[in-house]
Structure 1
Amino acid sequence: MSQSLYSLAFGVGTQNRQGNWLEVFYAQPLLAPSAELVAAVAPVVGYSGGNQAIAFTTTQAAELAEAIKGIDATQAKLLTRLAESQKPLVACLLAEDAALTSTPEAYLKLHLLSHRLVKPHQQNLTGIFPLLPNVAWTSQGAVDLAELAERQLEARLKGELLEVFSVDKFPKMTDYVVPAGVRIADSARVRLGAYVGEGTTVMHEGFINFNAGTEGPGMIEGRVSAGVFVGKGSDLGGGCSTMGTLSGGGNIVISVGEGCLIGANAGIGIPLGDRNTVESGLYVTAGTKVALLDDKNQLVKVVKARELAGQPDLLFRRNSQTGAVECKTHKSAIELNEALHAHN
């Protein structure tokens, strides 16, 4: 078989007692692997085309390592290590970027994001939630919730403690990959599937969901929810400080330009251009009515916030007397952000 694939990865994971996958760790996922590599892998694992997650043995791992050592030395070295595994192995081969059909596929696409091989909303994640089992993330790894009580008892009888860190569909990213050039104060607040660009600092109260993130450099002190990408649109610039909430959803991507400041307890539902400031406590949604002010603070007109999406050098604030949301050009935002970044 000689064909190109969307993605290919060899993983080691955890299954419950019924043989259902709970999670998969892909140390070196590939985007657009070579046709030569696919041709060497396919006959060993029995790949016949399409999107498949195929369990394979340690013996097959050794065979794969031998088959591809002249094609991809890095993957061959990984497979040599996988041949020593005492945990179940899986090869995930995705012919196309289609809706998900298995847990190993879901984990592969989350890995592609956190390995910075794709950016948020650049791949199809349809069907991901039903395919991610809700599991206990413990000091002994992923545990099926139906098996947790027995595992806790077993640990106690051995004089051990099975610590449960969380019960969730998503694990923390740093248990699977730590991207180069980042600072993460509390690793539990960054989910697998987050895209954390080089130069990004995530402070203790910062949070980055899956299929969201920042191009970097930047500082995250608030919530970056699914569908949000902190950058400069297609240029994906950096230098943004966020202390509020950035909310996206569906197929909407909320981008944030260079040098922006989103104040504490503030949030946005529109893309921001470069050097925008959103006042602390202010939430700006697409339908928010905004009073445009001139340089003398005189009303020009009232528009919906979506009409200001992507515009540079804007200050969004709330009038303390009337409660109206106002917007004006705010060149001092540049100086403010320079001071903030110099301090941090």
Structure 2
Amino acid sequence: MSALLSARLVRPSYSTAMVERPRLYARLEGWRSRRAVVIHAPAGYGKSSLIARWLDVAGLARQAAWITLDEEAADPARFVADVAAALETLRPGVQALVQPILADPRGDPARALSRLLDGLADHTPVAGKDDHLLLVLDDLHRIQSPAVDALLLAMLERGPPTLHLVLLARRRTGPSLARLHAYEKLIFLTADDLRFTEAEVAAYLRARGFTTSTAAEVAELTERSEGWVAGLQLAALAQRRPGDVGELAASLAGQQEWVGEFLASEVLDRQPPAIQRFLLQTAILDEFNAPLCAAVTGDDQAHALLAAVARADL
């Protein structure tokens, strides 16, 4: 296994001071009866950290494999190879089932995936042992490939009942999951679910050694940050007096430079040029609609660009 592949299969670490989120752990409890856990939320909401911590809290780390996807996984053969390498860590021997097919330049990735799923289904359960597996696909938004979408849908609809996917993305992406959602085969979380509550903001302050905060201060911090954990972290970085709740609130009110750098590097720079240009041109508007955006940008594709921005949760 190459060093690059090994790095993609490593579960990300999380801070030892991470806020525990039992209300979200409870939402994930029914995963064995669902085909997948799907989390869509923009950058900075703690998708990966939540799942990484949940696996430890729930005692599931030994039943889970992790892939951090990149743009090259849009190639179906590469995607199947990564999935096989990840599942090999849980079911030794399954990777060998697909290697001959993928090594053939004319090999069919869909056939390789079918062989892999059959191999998992043929695995003999150990009496008294939880045989369910979790495969986490992180950064799914990096893949724009109808062919890979079809492979994902095959995994969800035709994979063995003991294989469950966890799909983490910054926006709605991948195959249509409407049918699975309708049949209650998914656990679905969004940014609204991941936002910190006042209780979680208070726990965040305690974990990071802030001085005693009042309920009013916690409420103000929650409102100003909109429960966005990255916003709280950026404000804390901007502090000159660490641990001062009053200064943290002031930092949140004046952290435009920090937030701007974060959004530029983590969000804007990763958009296609047309979307980047559209966002920059329309940033002057407090409220907007398609005709207004068209007037500001002079682009007759403003309606389509605005729809793309909405789909991407931007």
TM-score w.r.t. the length of structure 2 is 0.30
> Highest CA radius of gyration, 1 or 2?
1
Comparing both structures, which one devotes a greater share of its residues to helix?
2
- RCO higher in 1 or 2 (8 Å CA, sep ≥ 6)? 2
TM-score w.r.t. the length of structure 1 is 0.28
